[in-house]
Chains A and B, each alone.
Chain A
């Protein structure tokens, strides 16, 4: 009869070794993100409580809420509401364009589906700046769009440097972000569910509304967040296609650092933007979404 060894210790040692191994693998990225992401994030919050010195520098010694107080100013609320409205418009247009598209693609044969999807992936990977610039060219005075509208007798188009141009640019830039998650959720719907609803006396419209639409909601929500977030803080598109007269949040924040040189105020705007975005994402994850 041999002595039966107690093995729980081996088990524990094994788990400790595994845990150590995992931690060590995560460590480089972990440290990197703490130093070059978490700390910068914290610094933004710290700066948002600081004071702008007369020379445009930042005085970190006297902590105050002055910058946050300025958030209530008319100019700021106008910028925020304008950006919000623009981002909402962009999101809704993307949703309206992407839904029939994604639905059509999801209901094709697999081979066709793959091909159609690649067609969406290519613009997704195409340089963002170039895609915005393309619209600058199209919409320019005397540019192709204007030439076209003149030729058909509608007169010159003058939408460059307006909010319409910005929305066009944003939709163009972020449409793939809406299509891909929408497609993913539509493609996952078992076609037998639709057949079952038809069998249970639903018209094709009713079966779409009662079956397809609710089941594709996670994709629509994910897509909306993916479009809304970068649209709300967009900088490049408004800078290329929009005018200077009606600033949007992104350019307004940038101008606090590059031209107005009021870093504490820019930092407080950034902090608010970050908190709004994080809450939106958190709400989405809490609601059970996982498509990000």
Chain B
């Protein structure tokens, strides 16, 4: 339907967009192996900066904290988000509309305001705990995890809901007709069919958790600096080849997650009725 010079023009524009999308990160990868101390100059091949990455204790501990936060918040958000998606797609209940709206909010609200919300909330609530019980709690890894779960639930539920929406509901009715109890129908029919959606949602949650800077910064306290927050701080003080290497490691982690999520998506479409 589109031929000739229009197609060539569009194709050219598409090529340029790809160049725009990929050239910067690819150059970053190249420069991470450059011996020159100036981050944007090629000075011969070296693995020095990766060695420094391995040796830098601050980076290592921030990485460990990042992974802890990401894994725990993803697990909790995946369970809660999936349950929420099931409730919204398959049931009618009181307060459903309010819940639906509440679930959308964390997606719409800008990072900065969510960060402010977390800062004020933890300040207020930890104060409250202090005055009521006398326990002096401080912001730390736990508060970061709590804030990550708060935004990840929404993203997981959106992905799982999309999968549930695409699934033929008569399959669940067929299971019930074939003597499956509610639990059996879920376990043997619904769950296997929406699993790619759940995995996709979990991988998105993992990505978002490893991406976040500003919310984490506001929800964390001493000793709970994640890798992105640490790197962000480094960048603000000036670029170094070490940051190049750390960035490429984070990039590699992202790419790994993309590949996994693509594999999850590739698995068969949910049970749409197939008729010929």
Complex Cα distance, B121 from A41, in Å, reads: 8
- Whether the Cβ atoms of B17 and A233 lie closer than 8 Å is no
B114 to chain A, nearest CB (A): 8
| Best-buried of B87, B102, B210 by chain A (most CB within 10 Å) | B87
Binary B-proximity of A259-273 (CB < 8 A = 1, otherwise 0)? 000010011001001
Q: Determine if A130 is an interface residue (Cβ-Cβ < 8 Å).
A: yes
**Known interface pairs A22-B90, A38-B102, A129-B232. Does A104 touch B21 (Cβ–Cβ under 8 Å)?**
no
Cβ–Cβ contact A235 & B11, under 8 A: no
Interface of A is mostly: helix
Give the nearest-CB partner of B207 in chain A: A125
Q: In the complex, which residues of chain A have a beta carbon less than 8 angstroms from the beta carbon of B211?
A: 127-129
Of B49-57, B104-112, B167-175, B189-197, the one touching chain A: B104-112
> Shortest distance in angstroms between A242's beta carbon and chain B's nearest beta carbon?
11
Q: How far is the CA of A126 from the CA of B80 in the complex (A)?
A: 25
- Report whether A123 and B22 are in contact in the complex, using a CB–CB cutoff of 8 Å: yes
**B129 contacts A by Cβ under 8 Å:** no
- Please, which residues of chain A bring their CB within 8 A of the CB of B47? none
Cβ–Cβ contact A233 & B112, under 8 A: yes
Select B91's contact among A19, A32, A118, A292, beta carbons within 8 Å: A19
In the bound complex, do residue B93 and residue A270 qualify as a contact, i.e. CB atoms below 8 Å apart? no
Number of interface residues of B (CB under 8 A): 91
A116 is an interface residue with CB less than 8 A from chain B: yes
Query: Contacts A97-B17, A232-B110: A36 and B121 contacting too (C-beta < 8 A)?
Result: yes
Which residue on chain A has the smallest CB distance to residue B10?
Answer: A104
Q: CB distance A129 to B94 under 8 Å?
A: no
Q: Assuming A116-B14, A277-B108, is B87 touching A22 (CB within 8 A)?
A: yes
Question: Residues of B contacting A33 with CB < 8 Å?
Answer: 102-103, 106, 150, 153
Residues of B within 8 A of A116 (CB): 14
Which residues does chain A contribute within 8 Å of B182, judged by CB atoms?
21
Asked if A281 meets B28 with Cβ closer than 8 Å, knowing A25-B84, A101-B13, A126-B255, the reply is no
Q: Given A29-B80, A29-B103, does the pair A172, B14 have CB atoms closer than 8 Å?
A: no
Query: Is B247 interfacial (CB 8 A cutoff)?
Result: yes
Is A131 in contact with B24, judged by CB distance below 8 angstroms? yes
Measured between alpha carbons, how far is A285 from B235 in the docked complex, in Å? 39
Closest to A271 in B: B113
Number of chain A residues whose Cβ lies closer than 8 Å to a Cβ of chain B: 87
Whether A121 and B112, one on each chain, are in contact in the complex, defined by CB atoms closer than 8 angstroms, is: no
- Give the contacts of B191-237 with A (CB-CB under 8 A): 207, 210-211, 213-214, 218, 228, 231-232, 235-236
- B25 proximity list for chain A (CB < 8 A): 123, 126, 130-131, 134
Cross-chain contact of A120 among B13, B21, B92 (Cβ < 8 A) = B21
Q: Which 6 residue pairs across A and B have the least CB separation, nearest first? A: A22-B91, A233-B110, A143-B40, A40-B121, A40-B117, A26-B87
Q: 4 extra interchain contacts, Cβ-Cβ under 8 A, other than A44-B116, A250-B110?
A: A20-B93, A21-B182, A137-B28, A236-B111
26 contacts between A and B (CB under 8 A): A19-B92, A22-B91, A23-B95, A26-B93, A29-B153, A32-B80, A32-B153, A40-B118, A40-B121, A44-B120, A97-B13, A97-B17, A100-B14, A104-B7, A125-B258, A127-B207, A129-B213, A129-B228, A140-B239, A191-B1, A236-B214, A273-B110, A273-B112, A274-B113, A277-B108, A281-B108
